[in-house]
């Protein structure tokens, strides 16, 4: 009918406009219609007012800046369903009581993954860990607080010269302890997923984080501890993965 045709026309205009936006067009050319529909919905719901440029093109997701509600800048993480290595993702969803019965349909796995990232961000926040505030999730798209300034995205720990590695270590160690206390293991923690914003360190990229009940939770925790201890060791603050793990588990 008429209303549906009007809606289709508006959506097509939106898609073409996005595809032709200078900063967006390279990666956006690979987005499928359902992804454009998700972005369109986020615009209609006022979570996104205007798209900015790309921050990162990762293995599974692209991250963009955008203008959000009330003149705030937001980060928009778009998972590419076709690029996603979903057999890898399955391993993180298996054994998570929050995501039982998802099956192995690739699209469903990715959609569950995005909702998991949103839920994990909230859980981490409630536990007192600084993470980007999750704002909205729509299909394979996550909108969250932007960490950075007009000058650019907040730097990863891997990109900064830590003045005081010991203090930074104590902060990260406390985050890991609080996450664990809230029943979560990050699972991909390293200097690449720790961001400096203002005077604080933030944890990002919680999509793969699992609950402590997950069959591989301890293995993931050990790996996180090794990554973090190795990084701070290179920064001149000698710590072992074992000490770190003991601190985290000593609640
Ligand atoms: P990778 O495969 O490179 O780890 P990813 O797909 O797992 O990427 P993230 O780690 O969540 O995605 O984000 C990729 C990069 O985008 C981060 O290293 C960071 O620099 C930037 N980024 C992500 N989220 C935000 C945010 N909320 N604010 C500012 N920058 C962000
Ligand atoms: Mn990452």
**CATH code for position 194:** 1.10.510.10
Give, to the nearest 10 degrees, the angle between helix 241-249 and helix 217-234: 130
Please compute the mean of the pLDDT values over residues 95-108 and round it to a whole number.
Answer: 78
Least confidently predicted of 64-78, 93-107, 235-249: 93-107
Q: Which residues pair with 145 in a beta bridge?
A: 74
Q: Which of 153, 189, 206, 227 to mutate to test the pocket of ligand 1 (most atoms within 8 A of CB)?
A: 153
Answer whether 137's CB lies under 8 Å from 114's CB: yes
Query: Do residues 109 and 90 touch, judged by C-beta distance below 8 A?
Result: yes
Reported as a single tens digit per residue, the pLDDT across 204-226 is: 999 999 999 999 999 999 999 99
Number of domains in the chain: 2
Are both 200 and 111 inside the same structural domain? no
CA-nearest of 5, 46, 47, 43 to 21 is 43
The residue from 71, 205, 222, 242 that is catalytic is 205
212 and 244 in a single domain? The answer is yes
Is residue 188 part of the annotated active site? The answer reads yes
State residue 84's pLDDT score.
Answer: 62
Can you tell me whether residue 82 is helix, strand or coil? coil
CA of 211 to the centre of ligand 2 (A): 19
CATH number at residue 125: 3.30.200.20
Q: Domain boundary residue among 102, 118, 146?
A: 146
Residues 133, 157 share a domain: no
The answer to whether 187 touches 211, Cβ cutoff 8 Å, is no
Lookup: tokens for 138: 């729509």
Task: Say how many residues make up the chain.
Answer: 251
Q: ipTM for the complex?
A: 0.97
* Domain endpoint, select from 94, 113, 146: 146
Q: Is 199 a catalytic residue?
A: no
- pLDDT for 17 equals 81
Q: State residue 182's pLDDT score.
A: 97
Q: Is the pLDDT of residue 26 over 70?
A: no
Residue 107 CB coordination number (10 Å): 15
> pLDDT by residue (tens digit) across 110-153?
889 999 999 999 999 999 999 999 999 999 999 999 999 988 99
Residue 64 and residue 22 share a domain: yes
Residue 19 sits in the same domain as residue 137: yes
| Least confidently predicted of 31-40, 113-122, 179-188 | 31-40
């Amino acid at each position: 009918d008429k209303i549906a045709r009007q809606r289709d026309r508006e959506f097509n205009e939106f898609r073409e406009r996005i595809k032709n936006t200078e900063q967006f067009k390279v990666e956006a050319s690979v987005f499928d219609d359902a992804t454009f529909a998700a972005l369109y919905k986020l615009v209609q719901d006022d979570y996104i007012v205007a798209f900015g440029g790309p921050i990162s093109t990762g293995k599974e997701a692209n991250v963009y800046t955008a203008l959000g509600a009330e003149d705030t800048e937001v980060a928009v993480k778009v998972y590419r369903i076709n690029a996603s290595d979903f057999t890898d993702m399955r391993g993180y969803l298996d054994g998570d009581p929050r995501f039982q019965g998802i099956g192995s349909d690739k699209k469903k796995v990715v959609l569950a993954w995005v909702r998991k990232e949103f839920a994990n961000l909230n859980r981490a926040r409630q536990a007192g860990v600084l993470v980007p505030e999750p704002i909205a999730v729509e299909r394979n798209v996550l909108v969250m607080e932007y960490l950075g300034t007009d000058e650019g995205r907040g730097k990863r720990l891997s990109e900064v010269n830590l003045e005081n590695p010991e203090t930074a270590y104590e902060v990260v160690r406390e985050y890991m302890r609080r996450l664990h206390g809230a029943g979560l293991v990050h699972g991909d923690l390293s200097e690449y997923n720790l961001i400096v914003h203002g005077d604080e360190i933030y944890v990002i990229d919680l999509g793969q984080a699992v609950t402590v009940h997950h069959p591989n939770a301890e293995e993931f925790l050990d790996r996180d501890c090794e990554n973090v201890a190795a990084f701070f060791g290179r920064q001149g603050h000698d710590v072992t993965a074992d000490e770190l793990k003991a601190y985290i588990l000593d609640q």
